[in-house]
Amino acid sequence: MKTLILFYSTYGHVYKLAEAMAEGAREVEGNDVVIKRVPETLSREVLDKTGATEAQKAFDHIPVAKPEELAQYDAIIIGTPTRYGNVCGQIQAFLDGTGALWAAGKLVGKVGGCFVSTATQHGGQETTLRALHTELLHLGMVVVGLPYAWQGQMGHHEVTGGTPYGASTVAGGQGERQPSGNELEGARYQGRHSSEIAKKLAS
Ligand SMILES: Cc1cc2nc3c(=O)[nH]c(=O)nc-3n(C[C@H](O)[C@H](O)[C@H](O)COP(=O)(O)O)c2cc1C
């Protein structure tokens, strides 16, 4: 069985969650876990001006996915930074390329899920995740989130991401905050949990 962790990241926060998600997925015996990113759509000029060119060097070794390859996986977990409370354009452009897969029902019955980064605590984590769930459902996927069985989302003694809809991190207004231990643990839990369910569905 195979799990794909697919992400877009400008400054590395979503990438860090993606690596933790993959770590959790690898804990499932017999799971072949692949991390890929979606193509960048911003111009080099914009990337240079915003500091993204430098930041993206940390994960430019990760291969870029093509929409048609999604059919190979049993579980697909997608990471996006929030853009105005919604899915980023890079992930949306990639998903806009899945029409042929949709038409042929190629993703029907596969496990789907998502995770997110926002700058601010209430900047749209849940709206972004729920928006992405809608797309996964249109593709016929079985949506799996981050259940409260992962107790790390129950506490309020520290600023933390982690929602029942998917793992998350709060990056800070200038991207100065990195994913915390708790947030990474949530991502690992989701990666493992989603892959366990995919394994059961595949058997
Ligand atoms: C055009 C744009 C819109 C954004 N909209 C939001 C937003 O609605 N809420 C929020 O908290 N952060 C917002 N952000 C901040 C990003 O979500 C933040 O930079 C990202 O989560 C960092 O993840 P990354 O390091 O993986 O790129 C926005 C950033 C950009 C560039």
Range of the structural domain that residue 97 is part of: 2-202
| Ligand 1 atom 7, closest CA | 84
CATH number of the domain at 14, please. Answer: 3.40.50.360
Give how far Cα 196 sits from Cα of 13, 44, 106, 150, 200, Å.
25, 40, 21, 15, 6
Query: From the CA of 41, how far away is ligand 1's center (Å)?
Result: 16
pLDDT of residue 187: 99
Mean pLDDT of the chain: 98
pLDDT of residue 203: 85
pLDDT in tens, 124-149: 999 999 999 999 999 999 999 999 99
Angle, in degrees to the nearest 10, between helices 181-202 and 13-26: 50
Could you tell me what percent of the chain has a pLDDT over 70?
Answer: 100
Q: 96: Cβ–Cβ under 8 A, 6 or more apart, which residues?
A: none
Q: Is 145 in the pocket of ligand 1 (CB under 6 A)?
A: no
pLDDT in tens, 86-123: 999 999 999 999 999 999 999 999 999 999 999 999 99
Q: What six digits make up the tokens of 71?
A: 């059919």
Q: What is the mean pLDDT of residues 174-181?
A: 97
93, with CB counted inside 10 A (0-12, 13-18, 19+), is middle
Q: State whether ipTM is beyond 0.90.
A: yes
Element (H, E) at 82: none
pLDDT of residue 138: 98
Q: How many domains does the chain have?
A: 1
For ligand 1, mutation pick of 118, 129, 132, 178 (most atoms within 8 Å of CB): 118
The atom of ligand 1 lying closest to the CA of 169 is 21
Query: From the CA of 75, how far away is ligand 1's center (Å)?
Result: 26
Whether residue 29 has pLDDT greater than 90: yes
